[in-house]
Structure 1
Amino acid sequence: MNINLIKRIGIAAAYKGGEVLKENFDKIPKIKKKGSIDLVTESDTESEKLIIETIKKVFPSHTILAEESGLENGDAECLWIIDPLDGTTNFAHHLPIFAVSIAFALNGDIVAGIVLNPVTGELFTATKGEGANLNGIPIHVSKTQKLTDSLLVTGIPYNFKEIIDDIQTRFFNCLKASQGVRRLGSAALDLCYTAAGRFEGFFEQDLKPWDTAAGLIIAKEAGGSVTDFSGNSFDIYKPEILATNGKIHDEMIKLLELKG
């Protein structure tokens, strides 16, 4: 498998989808609700359509897993994992913190990731074993040693009302132990910003594979540590993700593990 070709097509697809988002960003979106606060816009579906078309022109037999259209079965070894608009609520409110997220997995192992913010022009990329980049320049996680000197980022799942006690406990544990906790509204960018050293750590629960797949490899290739809240190996189908610069990871686990 030519991973460089995979990466080039993934980047091309991200820019195609990103063009739709950028063109429609200042317009009043037509919004549908998948849940009480889980939104989808026409831009989500238009972006996804162009992304899939771009990929399928070159790799017609590959399997596609996309947020809006679901699973399209194909070659079981080759899987594209697509979020055409990560941060839909931000987009709908004209807040420029959102991204196109595209990952490629070979035999279940994520080997390439692309995350593009079409408004800022920031393109985060990574391929397995070759490091992570921002607009072609290598990036690395923060060298901050202590949690007390760290800035963290988190997200709130759509079903937060059902698990509000756990969320509050974890949030305030981290807030009290760090310099601060931000909530930006795009897990893909949260992972990339951790990879770039802007945050020392990111934690969230109840995400979907398309939320974390691309950011996962970008964070790991930038030198980050990625596990679940208990320190176990993370994969994109797990309900918890903790990504850090590695130096504060053990401290973060202690804050996130809830005692029964």
Structure 2
Amino acid sequence: MAYEKELQVAQLAVQRATRLTKRVFHEKAKGTLSKDDASPVTIGDFGAQALIIAALKANFPADEIVAEEEAADLRENEKLRGTVWDLVRSTKLEDDKAEEVVGGAVKTDEDMLKRLDEGASQGGAKGRIWAIDPIDGTKGFLRGGQYAVCLALMVDGEVVVGVLGCPNLPVDDTAPLTADVGQDADDSEGRGVLFSAVLGQGATSRPLTTGALAAERSISMRPITDITKANFCESVEAGHSSHGDQADIANKLGITAPSVRMDSQAKYASIARGAGDIYLRLPVKATYQEKIWDHAAGDLIVREAGGQVTDVNGNRLDFTVGRTLANNKGVVAAPAGGHAQVLKAVQEVLSKK
């Protein structure tokens, strides 16, 4: 199977990283900082990224990595660095064989800082490049909503492996997508899902565990036979997607079900397994550029589950131009059979602005 080792390492690396984020999830003091873009950063972001990069460099040392965080804040904050280091050095999978496969033990706090800074690749159209978002949906994570640990491999600009760890989504793939899924979530029994896809090989889900990988299940999107019965996922933050435009699009399509708002690429995962149908991320600023780590894994998982993902102009997401999706505006994800209808409504609404 193509990319078999890459998939296994990615799955175990994400699963190990979610062990760390879940530990932080239950602590009251999460070491919140403020970055230049005003979004919160927690010790979970730093710790998860360090663990994932360590695994990738242990198994694929020549690969480049594009990741969200860098070590500068930890170098300047000794207390925070110590907190993150304590978590990183004590987080392992509870299965020796799985831990051996994923590898990448972080030996010292300086080693941890080095790993964090190895995510500074500028990306591009050539070679093997991994994209990491250690905690996608940090605000959701902080408030007890949905978040995802995200990892994708791009080869010559094409996403070929995608993995999402979603600790607060229900394990049951048939669980309906309800309005409260994006708030007051937790990682209690029956929650925690690992989603995966390899280009041309379909998409799967399996329960997150603390050790070896659980048995997988094939997932697929629901075909849209009646667009009026479909439901939408959208971002919680109005600054990430235009809620007003989405309401107009729903009205144009005759969709009456209220949209479900949740953070992170858990939206991609939810529609990929048929819990939802459509994910829209509509431009709010002409100058804003999406980051590749916010979309690479989810884009592949939805497409391998029978969906189509484009921007609002109908173009495939272009991961070849660096750390951002500079050639794209917004995201329209839907089952392949209904995507054209959804895209037409999106374009009609946006053209009136």
Tell me, yes or no, whether TM beats 0.5: yes
Give the C-alpha shift of residue 25 in structure 1.
0.6
Give the C-alpha shift of residue 89 in structure 1.
0.6
In 1, the alpha carbon distance for the partners of 2:2 and 2:303 equals 21
In 2, the alpha carbon distance for the partners of 1:172 and 1:65 equals 34
In 1, the alpha carbon distance for the partners of 2:143 and 2:243 equals 25
Give the 3-state SS of the residue equivalent to 2:336 in structure 1. Answer: coil
Give the C-alpha shift of residue 7 in structure 1.
0.4
Question: Is 2:23 the counterpart of 1:23?
Answer: yes
Question: Is 2:166 the counterpart of 1:117?
Answer: yes
Deviations 1:147-171 (A, max 9, x none): 21001111266746xxx8xx24422
Select the residue among 147, 155, 163 that pairs with 1:98. 147
Equivalent position of 2:338 in the other structure: 248
Deviations 1:86-133 (A, max 9, x none): 1111111123x1111100011111101000123322010000111000
Equivalent position of 1:44 in the other structure: 45
Structure 1 range deviating more: 175-184 or 141-150? 175-184
Equivalent position of 2:291 in the other structure: 208
Equivalent position of 1:8 in the other structure: 8
Q: Is the 8 A contact 1:193 1:199 kept in 2?
A: yes
In 2, the alpha carbon distance for the partners of 1:183 and 1:73 equals 31
What TM-score results when the alignment is normalised by the length of structure 2? Answer: 0.67
Change (3 A) 1:214 1:82: same
In 2, the alpha carbon distance for the partners of 1:114 and 1:50 equals 15
Structure showing the higher strand proportion among its residues: 1
Structure number, greater radius of gyration: 2
In 1, the alpha carbon distance for the partners of 2:27 and 2:311 equals 38
Give the 3-state SS of the residue equivalent to 1:121 in structure 2. Answer: strand
Question: Is 2:127 the counterpart of 1:77?
Answer: yes
Question: Is 2:331 the counterpart of 1:259?
Answer: no
Equivalent position of 2:304 in the other structure: 221
Give the 3-state SS of the residue equivalent to 2:337 in structure 1. Answer: coil
Give the C-alpha shift of residue 46 in structure 1.
0.8
Question: Is 2:249 the counterpart of 1:174?
Answer: yes
Q: Is the 8 A contact 2:236 2:262 kept in 1?
A: no
Deviations 1:169-212 (A, max 9, x none): 422213423222111011x1111111111111101145311011
Equivalent position of 2:219 in the other structure: 139
Equivalent position of 1:154 in the other structure: 234
Give the C-alpha shift of residue 230 in structure 1.
2.2
Change (3 A) 1:214 1:36: closer
Q: Is the 8 A contact 2:313 2:329 kept in 1?
A: no
Give the C-alpha shift of residue 72 in structure 1.
3.2
In 1, the alpha carbon distance for the partners of 2:204 and 2:266 equals 14
Give the C-alpha shift of residue 255 in structure 1.
2.6
Matched residue count: 253
In 1, the alpha carbon distance for the partners of 2:68 and 2:15 equals 18
Structure 1 range deviating more: 218-227 or 249-258? 249-258
Q: Is the 8 A contact 1:184 1:190 kept in 2?
A: yes
Change (3 A) 1:90 1:139: same
Off by >3 Å, runs of 4+ in structure 1 = 72-76, 156-160
What do you get for the CA RMSD once the two structures are aligned?
2.3
Equivalent position of 1:89 in the other structure: 139
Q: Share of identical aligned residues, percent?
A: 27
